[in-house]
Amino acid sequence: MDSQILISFIIATSVLAISPGPDNIYVLMQSLVHGKKFGIATVCGLMTGCLVHTTLVAFGVSALIKANDSLYFIIKLFGAMYLFYLAFKVFRSDAELSIDSSNIPKKTTTQLFKQGFIMNVLNPKVSIFFLALFPGFLFSDSLSTVVQFYVLGLLFIVVSFIIFASIAILSGLISDYIKKHKNVGVVLKWLQIVVFVGIAIFILMS
């Protein structure tokens, strides 16, 4: 087992979870408008949805790798190209962070959990992202690929939950900081680009 690969995966996941995206911005808005527990309910729904994507990718990719060893390289190549594409999309995007908490309808914590779960499960980009990310971070020659994918999926969920829950709990402070420091969006944008490109290179060289 290569612990360095797991540490690299945790660091990459942490940076990507912190970087602004539709999920953590949604959590931030719910927490600002309705309160911390509503934001955490949304986080629980989102992270539960990640289990579905982990299962789909774990068994699907493992079956492909068993069917043909050369497919492993093709999958990794696809993953690297997809991450380069995501970096390009971030590069082309607007760096300004908009915090607009108006016109957000009131929902119960159960409704927010369900909405977070459905948002995640019905988003095919999550499975594609896992498919791009996970094969480059296989960390053991003795464990099956299914087990390794589940370990990576659970690490992704735990790290993302901690960061997203922190966003919910610290939503007021984060909102004030973003409003006072207009350049934070630019910093996070370039941090995200560097991480996407770095992971892509790591996958190609692994």
The yes-or-no verdict on residue 144 having pLDDT over 90 is no
What is the value of pTM for the model shown?
0.86
**Model pLDDT for residues 3-56, shown as the tens digit of each residue:** 889 999 999 899 889 887 888 888 988 888 888 999 999 999 999 999 999 998
The HSE-up count of residue 28 (CA atoms within 13 Å, CB side) is: 25
The tokens for 1 are 């087992």
**Model pLDDT for residues 72-124, shown as the tens digit of each residue:** 788 888 888 998 998 998 888 877 766 666 667 778 899 999 999 998 988 88
**Overall average pLDDT of the 57-73 stretch:** 76
Per-residue pLDDT, 10: 94
What does the mean pLDDT of the chain come to?
A: 86
145-172 burial: b if 16+ Cβ within 10 Å, else e:
beebbbbbbeebbebbbebbbebbeebe
**Overall average pLDDT of the 189-194 stretch:** 87
Per-residue pLDDT, 162: 96
Question: Are the C-beta atoms of residues 191 and 19 closer than 8 Å to each other?
Answer: yes
The yes-or-no verdict on residue 1 having pLDDT over 80 is no
**Model pLDDT for residues 2-17, shown as the tens digit of each residue:** 788 999 999 989 988 9
Rounded Cα distance between 104 and 164, Å, is: 19
Rounded Cα distance between 106 and 119, Å, is: 17
Per-residue pLDDT, 157: 95
